[in-house]
Structure 1
Amino acid sequence: MKGRTIILDHLGDVEAAALMVDGHLDDLLVDTPDAPRVGTIYRAIADRPVKGQGGMFLKSPDGSAFLRQIKGLAPGQPILVQVTGFAEEGKAIPVTSKLLFKSRYAIITPEAPGLNISRAIRDEPERDRLLEIAHEAMDGAEYGLILRSCCSGADGEAITEDIEAMLNLAHAVLSDTSTDMETLAEGDGPHVLAWRDWVEPAEIVTNEGGFEEHGVLDALDGLMEDMAPLSGGASMYIEPTRALVAVDVNTGSDVSLAAGIKANMACARALPRALRLRGLGGQIVLDLAPMPKKDRRPFETALRAAFRTDDVETALVGWTPLGHYELQRKRARAPLTEVLA
């Protein structure tokens, strides 16, 4: 099946959204009823500093949170923070004090005043149109605004409504003068996130049973396996441990001199999608197929290009003395194995 299809459905009682591209599962969002959603905003209470880690533990309505900030904070002080990712079992919720109010077209940035248009929009008349919309909608507001790339060609009234909705939410959160620990705004669920972030033209399926009808459930069965097939008969095994995610690349039945570089290049192209669908982050170590050192640079170039289009922040760290390649990836989603357990 060619084209893009967005399916909004449920896995049991849990809300979920899937993006199919040319008949293959390209992205998956699953709600986490037992964990706070990314984007949730708390009024938390500073608890105790951890100077060795350069941060502060906070008390939040959903348990202990960790903020990488100490300066200006004292135990017992209330502070507004936003959830940035998912915590491993037994660890604190990662949060930031730099709040963002994000929707499909607009991002309100309270700590960064000014009106900004996505650099992906290069057409000057279109940038002028969007800047005019931004000036009218913000109307002297003290917060900053970023208009996202999907604003290009979008209806001006829809953009204005989006800006105003985020402005109202930001004002409601930031003007609350209470000092009690509280959840001030819930993060977006999978269906809203799909509308917000999957902005390219697509068929939308909302009927119950859409996952089964469009092959999402079959794809999920494959994701529960450690082995992920690669082109040319190669494969990679993706095995999360408590400390890191190990990825082992195998050449399969190919015994040619170029088998190693071909398998590794296939891994580079497939890895962002494989990690994204499985919800894996943290430290990632690639045990690549044997290849000459002269082929390392092309591999890194391919890996960098593949992650450039991935939404989850990933740092390409480099080679270890043993010849492994390391990455550090933000824990932006809960591991699929935990969500479907």
Structure 2
Amino acid sequence: MKGRQIILDHLGGREAAALMVDGRLDDLLIGDEGACPGAIYRAKADRPVKGMGGMFLSIPGGTAFVRQVRGISPGQPLLVQVTGHAEPGKATPVTAKILFKSRYAIVTPDAPGLNLSRRIRDDDLRDTLLAIANEAMDGSDMGLILRSSCAQADPDEIAEDIAAMAELAGAVTSDLPGEPELLVAGDGAHALAWRDWSDPAEVIDAPGSFDSHGVLDAIEALRSAHVPLAAKASIYVEATRALVAVDVNTGPDTSLAAGLKANIAAARELPRQLRLRGLGGQITMDLAPMPKKERRVFEDTLRAAFRADAIETTLAGWTPLGHYELQRQRQRQPLTEVLP
């Protein structure tokens, strides 16, 4: 089926949302259990970690770790926001730079100023949006970012969204004193789909939609490490405790350009596979053989592929053995941990 579809359903008792583009699963969100990204806590400083510039914190039900904090003493309360999923046995990663994010607006208490997404290029529209932002944030010392989704939105809806986020931010930032507590729960899968998949799409929310629209079949395919590519090339995406290994194979193609073609196809497919599988951390690509002079083409393709991906990914570069390494934020639980 052509076009975009957002399909809302449940998977294993959890909220789940699937984004289908031209009949192909492009993104998948499954509700989290425990401290999920975006949740805001009032935490209590526990002990600093020398040499790392960070500190362990106490939060309800466990511990958290925040980097680059100064002037915080043990026992002092502070507001933090969960940034990703913790590996088993490790503290929940959090940040002291809190964002209040919705469909159209992001309120930034620690970063004053009004900013618009660079994807909004029409000068008249930018002027209109800045006028809405100035009116909605009048008298506030907090910052605001208007997202690219504002380009197709109703001005009244944008103003309401800004006001709601500013009110929430004001209430939370003034609620510092007290014992560790969850102040704002992270968004569920359906709310995240509404918030982040803002391009025009058909929304389907009837019970059993995952089955009737092929989402369950696509998820079942993700249980396998094998991913077929064009021209019978393939990759294997396998997560170990230390890293995610991506092995690129040319298949039956024995031409001189087989390695480059397989590596380019792998670069274009990798962001989607990492999104769908919920994988992050250190990623090592064992590429198909290709001349060093062709590395630039591969790097440009990989950089362009990740530019459209919302999860922060650092392209670290080449190893002495010719592998390519990436570092990706752990924003989602691995699919293998949440599948029923």
CA gap 1:159/1:203 in 2 versus in 1, 3 angstroms: same
Cα–Cα, structure 1 residues 6 and 153, in superposed 2: closer, same or farther, change >3 Å? closer
Q: Does residue 265 of the first structure (1) align with residue 268 of the second (2)?
A: no
Kindly state the Cα deviation for residue 155 of structure 1 after the two structures are TM-superposed.
Answer: 0.7
Q: Structure 1 residue 118: deviation in Å?
A: 1.2
**CA deviation map 1:23-80 (0-9, x unaligned):** 00000000112x3121100010111111122210101013110000342111111110
SS of residue paired to 1:237: strand
Give the structure 2 partner of residue 340 of structure 1.
Answer: 339
Q: Distance in 1 between matches of 2:292 and 2:176?
A: 59
Report the equivalent of 1:149. Answer: 148
SS in structure 1 opposite 2:136? helix
Cα RMSD after superposing both structures: 0.9
Residue 164 of structure 1 aligns to a residue in which SS? helix
Residues 1:24 and 2:24 are matched in the alignment: yes
Shift of 1:175: 1.3
Q: 2:100 matched to which residue of 1?
A: 101
| Amino acid paired to 1:196 | R
**Aligned equivalents of 1:72 and 1:207: distance in 2?**
51
Q: Report the AA paired with residue 317 of structure 1.
A: A
Distance 2:118 2:41 in 1: 31
Correspondence for 2:238: 239
Kept in 1: contact 2:79–2:176 (CA 8 A): no
Q: Secondary structure, in 3 states, of the residue corresponding to 1:152?
A: helix
One-letter amino acid of the structure 1 residue matched with residue 7 of structure 2: I
| Equivalent residue number for residue 287 of structure 1 | 286
The residue aligned with 1:195 is 194
Residue number in structure 2 paired with 1:249? 248
Task: Output the amino acid matched with 2:189.
Answer: P
Residues 35 and 82 in structure 2, CA contact (< 8 A), matched pair in contact too: yes
Partner amino acid, structure 1, of 2:126: R
Query: In 2, distance between residues paired with 1:183 and 1:201?
Result: 34
Distance 2:305 2:208 in 1: 32
Q: Which residue of 2 aligns with 1:160?
A: 159
Q: Give CA-to-partner distance per residue, 1:254-298, whole Å, 9 cap, x none.
A: 111111111101000000001110000000000001111111110
* Residue 138, structure 1, aligned to residue 148, structure 2: no
8 A Cα contact 2:12 2:339, kept in partner = no
Q: Is the 8 A contact 2:259 2:290 kept in 1?
A: yes
Q: Which runs of 4+ in 1 moved over 4 A?
A: none
Q: Secondary structure at the match of 2:152?
A: coil
Measured after TM superposition, the shift of residue 119 of structure 1 is 1.4
Structure 1 length-normalised TM: 0.98
1:246 Cα deviation after fit: 0.5
Q: Tell me the secondary structure at the aligned position of residue 35 of structure 2.
A: coil
The 2-side partners of 1:88 and 1:177 are apart by 28
- The one-letter amino acid of 2:337's match is E
CA contact (8 A) 1:45 1:75 kept: yes
What SS does structure 2 have at the residue aligned with 1:188? coil
**1:153 CA displacement:** 3.4
Amino acid at match of 1:160: A
Aligned-pair CA distance for 1:187:
0.8
What is the alpha-carbon distance in structure 1 between the residues aligned to residue 152 and residue 320 of structure 2? 50
The SS at the match of 1:53 is coil
Cα deviation, residue 219, structure 1: 0.3
Q: Secondary structure at the match of 1:120?
A: coil
1:13 counterpart residue number: 13
TM-score, L = length of structure 2: 0.98
Aligned with 1:297: secondary structure? helix
Residue 178 of structure 1 and its aligned partner are, at CA, apart by 2.6
In structure 2, what is the equivalent of residue 90 of structure 1?
89
Mapping 1:277-316, distance limit 5 Å = 277-316=276-315
How far did residue 116 of structure 1 move? 1.2
Contact 1:49 1:70 in 2 (8 A): no
Count residues with an aligned counterpart. 340
- Does the 8 Å CA contact 1:126/1:153 hold for their aligned counterparts? no
- Find the aligned partners of 2:12 and 2:264 in 1 and give their Cα distance: 37
SS at match of 2:186: coil
Shift of 1:177: 4.3
Please give the residue correspondences for 1:35-184 in structure 2 after superposition, counting only pairs within 5 Å: 35-184=34-183
Greater mean alpha carbon deviation, residues 157-166 or residues 111-120: 111-120
Identical columns (%)? 67
2-side partners of 1:130 and 1:52: how far apart?
44
Residues 319 and 255 (structure 1), Cα distance of their counterparts in 2 relative to 1, 3 Å cut: same
Q: Which amino acid aligns with 2:25?
A: L
